[in-house]
Chains A and B, each alone.
Chain A
Amino acid sequence: MKTIGLEEAVAMMPDGASVMIGGFMGVGTPERLMDELARQGKRDLTVIANDTATPGRGIGKLVSAGVVRKAIVSHIGLNPETQKKMIAGEMEVDLVPQGTLIERIRAAGYGLGGVLTPTGVGTLVEEGKRKLEVDGKQYLLETALRADFALVEAFLSDYYGNLVYAMTARNFNPVIAMAAQTVIVDAAHIVPVGMISPDHAVTPAVLVDFVIAHE
């Protein structure tokens, strides 16, 4: 793990990159990274996340700034801008059931080609997917989903990059930290090694490439 400045971290991400972003309605989303992505005027990102939050919050900032070409998410209902851009054809939105989305990401991080889920069988979600019967029950084959970058918000990082999350801000964060080529973390607190008990570390430091330096 290395520490990195905010501007430099965002400069690493090229236009067109695929980026997984932690957070659930903006809770657990690294806000400073959202602000900097918008400020640097990134283009054509594929964002993989639970939702697009609300305008002015979390991923909503990226949608407003025109950073996102495609969003792979489970919910856009609380962001009218995403819906408007989707209808206008300015943004592609791939809606995935939430449990399927997180399992596709987990599958990538765990070295699996995909998962079999009963969710979506017999609905619009099954279109174009393989259906398999196992022990008399129907499942959809949902393939693994990986990305170039994962942007993670943690509550604590120690100097090595072992991570602890706070309450409901955990959500997608530890899962995306397994599924991307480069993992960038913004932690609310950076603490000395030893402050985090081995039993309490959720994400092992070995998965973390960069922690954003505190000013």
Chain B
Amino acid sequence: MDPQTVIAKRIAQELGTGMLVNLGVGIPTLVANYVPPGLKIYFQSENGLIGTGPIPEQGMSERYLTDAAGEPVSALPGACTFDSAMSFGLIRGGHLDVTVLGGLQVDEEGHLANWMIPGKMVPGMGGAMDLVTGAKRVIVAMQHTAKGNPKIVKQCSLPLTSLRRIDLLVTELAVISFAQDRPLLLETAPGVSVKEVLAATEAALVVSKQVPHMNIEGVSS
């Protein structure tokens, strides 16, 4: 199973019926593919839609119905649309249960940096600062390292997205909780040891005696 699938499958387990959920571009978008059937989750697209559905069948896309990257989507029965002020009211106002975003760095304090690399990449923050500041629960989906370098660091060197601490980090190697003062290693991926996780992590993690493997269907440990 490739890293992205491991991450997406594990995060899908965090979602429950009735939740309003916003998925960012990249790995987070894949989470929707692994939600168990029968679970009624409201996916929000911040360009103004609750009830975002899968990519429409060929020939059925409509230029007025798109996701936040401007790509065609469908809408599920019961979907509703609104303007950008309401969309961000939902996000900032405590109505969004979960946001899942990509990350460049996460540090020991639970701070996320995901919107720019000074001098290299300045795409703009889009909705990321509002999402991290306002959502009830912030889950970050990212690869554990970048070209062998740790992305889970002591202190972010890149500009922060928000001072608000993230709640959970899921990588292809581990699940890390930021619910307490210090980051806690909750699970490792099937076949991955605690030692391997710690070797790939710059931040100091709290490790309990028993760290279970992620229980993701279709993976042999």
Question: A residues bordering B, Cβ < 8 Å?
Answer: 24-28, 50-51, 53-54, 73-78, 83, 86, 93, 95, 97-100, 102-103, 106, 117-125, 155, 165-175, 202
- Asked if B47 and A171 make an inter-chain contact with CB atoms under 8 angstroms apart, the answer reads yes
| A76, A121, A125, A170 interface centre (most CB from chain B within 10 Å) | A170
- Asked if A24 and B122 make an inter-chain contact with CB atoms under 8 angstroms apart, the answer reads no
Q: How many B residues touch A, CB cutoff 8 Å?
A: 39
Report the Cα distance A95→B161, complex, angstroms.
Answer: 13
In this assembly, does B59 line the interface, its C-beta being within 8 Å of a C-beta of chain A? no
List 21 A–B pairs whose Cβ atoms lie within 8 Å, in order of A's numbering: A25-B68, A26-B70, A51-B124, A53-B70, A75-B124, A75-B125, A76-B124, A78-B69, A95-B125, A102-B83, A102-B88, A103-B88, A122-B162, A122-B163, A123-B159, A123-B161, A125-B125, A168-B45, A168-B64, A168-B66, A170-B83
A residues near B87, Cβ cutoff 8 Å: 102, 171
Name B130's contact: one of A73, A100, A170 (CB within 8 Å): A100
In this assembly, does B123 line the interface, its C-beta being within 8 Å of a C-beta of chain A? yes
Q: Which residue of A lies closest to B128 (CB)?
A: A97
Report the Cα distance A123→B133, complex, angstroms.
Answer: 11
Q: Which residue of A lies closest to B73 (CB)?
A: A168
| B66, B75, B128 interface centre (most CB from chain A within 10 Å) | B66
- Asked if A172 and B129 make an inter-chain contact with CB atoms under 8 angstroms apart, the answer reads no
Name B85's contact: one of A95, A103, A168 (CB within 8 Å): A103
A residues near B123, Cβ cutoff 8 Å: 75-78, 83
- Asked if A119 and B134 make an inter-chain contact with CB atoms under 8 angstroms apart, the answer reads yes
In this assembly, does B127 line the interface, its C-beta being within 8 Å of a C-beta of chain A? yes
Known: A75-B125, A118-B92. A168 touches B48 (CB 8 A): yes
Report the Cα distance A96→B125, complex, angstroms.
Answer: 7
- Asked if A74 and B160 make an inter-chain contact with CB atoms under 8 angstroms apart, the answer reads no
Q: Which residue of B lies closest to A109 (CB)?
A: B85
A residues near B134, Cβ cutoff 8 Å: 99, 118-119
New contact pairs (14) apart from A99-B88, A175-B83, A202-B83, CB-CB < 8 Å: A24-B48, A24-B68, A24-B70, A74-B125, A78-B123, A98-B125, A100-B129, A123-B163, A155-B64, A165-B83, A167-B75, A168-B45, A168-B66, A171-B87
Expressed in whole angstroms, the minimum distance between the Cβ of A78 and any Cβ of chain B is 7
Give the number of residue pairs across the A-B interface with Cβ within 8 Å. Answer: 142
Q: Which residue of A lies closest to B46 (CB)?
A: A98
A residues near B12, Cβ cutoff 8 Å: none
- Asked if A27 and B66 make an inter-chain contact with CB atoms under 8 angstroms apart, the answer reads yes
Name B64's contact: one of A27, A78, A99 (CB within 8 Å): A27
Report the Cα distance A107→B89, complex, angstroms.
Answer: 13
Report the Cα distance A166→B129, complex, angstroms.
Answer: 27
Report the Cα distance A117→B88, complex, angstroms.
Answer: 11
Q: Which residue of A lies closest to B111 (CB)?
A: A122
| B123, B127, B128, B129 interface centre (most CB from chain A within 10 Å) | B129
Q: Which residue of A lies closest to B160 (CB)?
A: A123
B residues near A51, Cβ cutoff 8 Å: 124, 126
- Asked if A74 and B47 make an inter-chain contact with CB atoms under 8 angstroms apart, the answer reads no
B residues near A123, Cβ cutoff 8 Å: 129, 159-163
Expressed in whole angstroms, the minimum distance between the Cβ of B162 and any Cβ of chain A is 7
Report the Cα distance A112→B89, complex, angstroms.
Answer: 17
In this assembly, does B82 line the interface, its C-beta being within 8 Å of a C-beta of chain A? yes
In this assembly, does B33 line the interface, its C-beta being within 8 Å of a C-beta of chain A? no
Name B83's contact: one of A54, A155, A174 (CB within 8 Å): A174
Report the Cα distance A125→B68, complex, angstroms.
Answer: 22
In this assembly, does B198 line the interface, its C-beta being within 8 Å of a C-beta of chain A? no
A residues near B81, Cβ cutoff 8 Å: 167-168, 170
Report the Cα distance A93→B123, complex, angstroms.
Answer: 11
- Asked if B66 and A172 make an inter-chain contact with CB atoms under 8 angstroms apart, the answer reads no
Report the Cα distance A175→B162, complex, angstroms.
Answer: 26
| A26, A99, A120, A175 interface centre (most CB from chain B within 10 Å) | A99
